[in-house]
Amino acid sequence: MIPSPSPFPEPQPALAPLTSAAVFLVVTVEPGGEQQVRDLLPEISALTRSVGFRVPEAALSVCTGISSDVWGRLFAGPRPAELHPFQERVGRIHRAPSTPGDLLFHIRAHRMDLCFELASHFMSRLEGAVAVVDETHGFKYFDDRDLLGFVDGTENPVGSPAYRAAIVGDTDPEFAGGSYVIVQKYLHDLTGWNALTVEAQERAVGRTKLSDIELDDDEKPADSHVTLNTVEDDEGNQLQIVRRNMPFGSFGRGEFGTYFIGYAATPSVTERMIDNMFLGNPPGIHDRLLDFSTAVTGGLFFVPSQEWLDADHPAAGSGAATEPAPATRAEPDPAPTPEPDPHAGSLRIGSLKA
């Protein structure tokens, strides 16, 4: 685990470095399955140690996230101050959906067999209590590149700046040491992307493809990915998150993409980036990458500190969901309300299930 440079509780390993393999597992909790989930959560550390002890150099770790919708079904008492459901964004052209998901298991190691083994222990203990709505197996692609051919995560903070960017501090003392994580699964149109010239690709991303150097400000279009994902506070200081994205792919399903996962001390920073990408900043433009990358999932979870996860907490009295905290937005959404989806309830894509 990453040592905590503060008096706050030990975080889960959100800041652990990228590995060669990962499993992103999102499940919903069936009615009546709450106690099985509560029984598993304090066991996760021991299960991870037991599996990882067999191959310590593989650096097996897991981060467990809990959604707003299921929090009140699992626990009585206070909840993380900024925990709320992920909001759908509907821009003029592109949409960032909000999809089902109560628990997130972000499992990673330098060997996929260890990720698979740990996931199998979780699912065995949760048998009958949860339904898998998304399972994505990520892999390292050359020098940390995505399937579009660009290095992913270049601007990730490291050391103390990473801790400050990703870990909750004294702004919410009850849940200090935790982190908010947003996940989105993007499918790429590789045929369309590869038809572009390298120069056009670089302008869409805002970086050079081979050397991974950020383009000068006068070369970066307003709709480049780098431009729209650079956000600042009122004093002009850049706000950061910690990304641990990974590529994935399946030739049989014809699906190739990037699994975005961003850890932050406040979800508002990641939400501002997503608003910029889909709704524009200023409104009316969108991230050029979205013309080749389609978001098919979206979820927001709280990753409590390791100490909090390992402890027992009072169960929710009735097992029924409490009213979730209202969703907050860093930017107002100017988009119109979407028409009702006749396929609501089904994610209608590859490994994603209703």
Instruction: Give the total residue count for the chain.
Output: 354
**pLDDT score at 215:** 98
pTM over 0.85: yes
Place of tokens 């641990």: 244
Structure confidence at residue 350 (pLDDT) = 54
- Asked if residues 258 and 188 have their Cβ atoms less than 8 Å apart, the reply is yes
Q: Is 152 a catalytic residue?
A: yes
Nearest to 164 by CA among 330, 303, 310, 11: 11
- Got the DSSP string for 13-82? STTPPP-SEEEEEEEEEPTT-HHHHHHHGGGHHHHHHHHHTTSGGG--EEEEEEEHHHHHHHB-S---TT
H or E element at residue 204: helix 198-205
Taking the C-alpha atoms of residue 273 and residue 85, their distance in angstroms, rounded to an integer, is 17
Q: Are 27 and 134 a contacting pair, CB within 8 Å?
A: no
d(CA 225, CA 279): 13
**Mind listing the pLDDT tens digit for each residue in 107-145?**
999 999 999 999 999 999 999 999 999 999 999 999 999
- How far apart (Å, rounded) are the C-alpha atoms in residues 53 and 47? 10
Residue 286 vs residues 96, 151, 204, 323: alpha-carbon distances, Å: 12, 21, 11, 33
How open is the CA angle 142-227-240, to the nearest 5 degrees? Answer: 75
Sequence letter at residue 165: A
- pLDDT at residue number 5: 53
How crowded is the C-beta side of 114, counted as CA atoms within 13 Å?
26
Do 14 and 179 contact (CB within 8 A), yes or no? Answer: yes
Confidence (pLDDT) at 8: 81
Which of 152, 223, 275, 287 is catalytic? The answer is 152
Report the DSSP pairing between strands 89-90 and 242-243: unpaired
Task: Give the pLDDT score at 6.
Answer: 58
Q: What single-letter amino acid sits at 323?
A: E
Mind listing the pLDDT tens digit of every residue in the chain (354 residues)? 555 555 789 999 999 999 999 999 999 999 999 999 999 999 999 999 999 999 999 999 999 999 999 999 999 999 999 999 999 999 999 999 999 999 999 999 999 999 999 999 999 999 999 999 999 999 999 999 999 999 999 999 999 999 999 999 999 999 999 999 999 999 999 999 999 999 999 999 999 999 999 999 999 999 999 999 999 999 999 999 999 999 999 999 999 999 999 999 999 999 999 999 999 999 989 999 999 999 999 999 999 999 999 999 999 984 344 444 444 343 444 444 444 443 344 444 555 554
